[in-house]
Amino acid sequence: MPIREDSCLLAFIDLTAAFDLVNREVLWSELTSLKTEPRLLAFIKALYTSTCLRVRYGVNGALTNRICTNKGIRQGCILAPLLFNLYINDLPGLMKLSLAYVP
């Protein structure tokens, strides 16, 4: 079904915990396709190598054991919003392609 030029499309996207769900391999691929300078890409990858976290919980502020992750981007990192925007850069085009399947 072709989309008319005067059509208005609306999409609601739930971005809850979006930073936590970023697939880093897809992000690296996207940065590479955008011709990111190799030394900068290596630096960003180094920031996300062996990423571990601990969670503070309870009244006394006890800490969990280390939890190592291989997905997501760091909340609070000054690069995180930019990395996320680059990660979802292709989303509008992908949504337009998926309209062919809307009944």
Average pLDDT score over residue span 17-32: 94
Per-residue pLDDT band for 23 (boundaries 50, 70, 90) equals very high
Is 47 within the bounds of a domain? yes
Residue 80, phi-psi category: left (phi > 0), alpha (psi -120 to 50), beta (remainder) = alpha
Q: Which domain holds residue 79?
A: 24-100
Q: Give the separation between CA 73 and CA 6, rounded to whole angstroms.
A: 38
First to last CA, the chain: 9
Q: How many domains does the chain have?
A: 1
Is 54 within the bounds of a domain? yes
Q: Is 70 exceeded by the pLDDT of residue 102?
A: no
Q: Which residue has the tokens 């690069």?
A: 79
Is 2 within the bounds of a domain? no
Question: Taking a C-beta distance cutoff of 8 angstroms, is the pair 28, 41 a contact?
Answer: yes
Q: Give the separation between CA 72 and CA 19, rounded to whole angstroms.
A: 5
